[in-house]
């Protein structure tokens, strides 16, 4: 797949709020089939679009990429042919020994691309417009539609009395993590008293008490409260859409490499079990002589 085509696909995934990892070969030590600048996308189901090396290297990139989708942290992946090397994790670098490589070493930068926090702002008053502007400046995906997407992380109602009750019910029903109502303490309490919902689910008056007066300052205080109250995760800000599950892993019975258990991984059923492999070479070796690799069978 050409780089321009791959970049277009990445843009399409971002537009759909679909997480992926962008993998780029940054250094090689030959012999290896990859070269610096080769790149690929790793999807949550293990699909790899593009090229970052042969089947064995691709298997390692698949596993490490899926792992990173649970953390959001960029990592330099170093793949070497050292059979005895146990996976080594340092700050920002993971080194993996893959004895099935052709003899070279690969360094691949893995950059998770995770959807930004999705914030719904209801209303068209000055504070609502400031919430949109400030939220987008923070890198959030800010929507102004009254429809609440299933992965919305915040709903901020700044409609000043217009349809507040229905919007609050919808936000609570959607189990949105942060729900805010822009209102005075007295009016906010009256609105919540009229609804059959837990008042603790709604922040009103919204925002941290920082002495905000202007619409922009109020918007800053609201987002500060959102940041302060959201669940702490290992992923960097902004918060993420629902995360892919930690991948199931299996050991290649031939070379011992850790392999992601996905439909995209090389695999083979045998004696009622399914075995996963780092690449077609190990799969073929197992198919030819499974008794060599299953001593207890």
Top-confidence residue, 147 or 165 = 165
Q: Is residue 293 part of a domain?
A: no
Range of the domain at 215: 118-229
List Cα–Cα distances, 77 to 24, 91, 110, 218, 237, in angstroms.
10, 11, 7, 43, 23
Phi, psi (deg, nearest 5) at residue 188: -60, -40
Distance CA 274, CA 287 (A): 12
Q: Is residue 290 part of a domain?
A: no
pLDDT at 48: 95
pLDDT at 228: 95
């993971």: which residue's tokens?
94
Where would I find the beta strands (DSSP E) of 99-237? 105-113, 118-122, 141-143, 154-157, 178-181, 202-203
Which CATH number characterizes residue 209's domain?
3.40.50.720
Provide mean pLDDT across the span 72-101.
85
pLDDT in tens, 166-183: 999 999 999 999 999 999
pLDDT at 238: 39
Residues 97 and 131 in one domain: no
Distance CA 45, CA 245 (A): 10
Q: Is residue 250 part of a domain?
A: no
DSSP classification of residue 150:
T
Residues 100 and 57 in one domain: yes
Q: Is residue 189 part of a domain?
A: yes
Q: Is residue 194 part of a domain?
A: yes
User: Any idea how long the chain is?
Assistant: 297
Residues 123 and 99 in one domain: no
pLDDT at 205: 94
Distance CA 282, CA 286 (A): 6
Residues 207 and 167 in one domain: yes
Q: Is residue 271 part of a domain?
A: no
Q: How many domains, the chain?
A: 2
pLDDT in tens, 193-227: 999 889 999 999 999 999 999 999 999 999 999 99
Q: Is residue 141 part of a domain?
A: yes
Q: Is residue 137 part of a domain?
A: yes
């Amino acid at each position: 797949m050409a780089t321009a085509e791959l970049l277009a696909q990445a843009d399409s995934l971002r537009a759909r709020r679909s997480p992926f990892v962008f993998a780029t070969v940054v250094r090689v030590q030959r012999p290896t089939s990859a070269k610096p600048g080769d790149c690929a996308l790793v999807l949550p189901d293990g699909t790899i679009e593009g090229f970052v090396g042969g089947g064995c290297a691709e298997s390692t990139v698949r596993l490490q990429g899926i792992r990173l989708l649970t953390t959001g942290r960029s990592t330099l992946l170093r793949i070497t042919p050292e059979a005895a090397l146990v996976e080594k994790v340092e700050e920002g670098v993971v080194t993996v020994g893959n004895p099935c490589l052709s003899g070279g070493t690969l360094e691949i930068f893995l950059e998770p691309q995770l959807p930004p926090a999705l914030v719904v702002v209801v209303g068209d008053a000055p504070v609502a417009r400031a919430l949109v502007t400030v939220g987008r400046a923070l890198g959030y995906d800010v929507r102004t539609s009254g429809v609440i997407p299933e992965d919305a992380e915040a709903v901020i109602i700044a409609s000043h009395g217009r349809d507040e009750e229905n919007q609050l019910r919808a936000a609570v029903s959607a189990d949105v993590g942060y729900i805010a109502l822009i209102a005075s303490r007295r009016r906010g309490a009256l609105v919540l008293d009229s609804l059959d919902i837990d008042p603790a689910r709604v922040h009103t008056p919204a925002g941290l008490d920082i002495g905000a007066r202007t619409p922009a300052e109020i918007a800053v205080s609201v987002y500060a409260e959102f940041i302060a109250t959201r669940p702490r995760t290992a992923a960097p800000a902004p918060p993420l859409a629902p995360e892919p599950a930690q991948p199931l892993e299996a050991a290649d019975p031939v070379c011992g490499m850790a392999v992601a258990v996905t439909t995209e991984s090389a695999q083979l059923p045998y004696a009622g079990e399914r075995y996963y492999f780092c690449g077609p070479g190990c799969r073929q070796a197992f198919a030819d002589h499974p008794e060599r690799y299953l001593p207890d069978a």
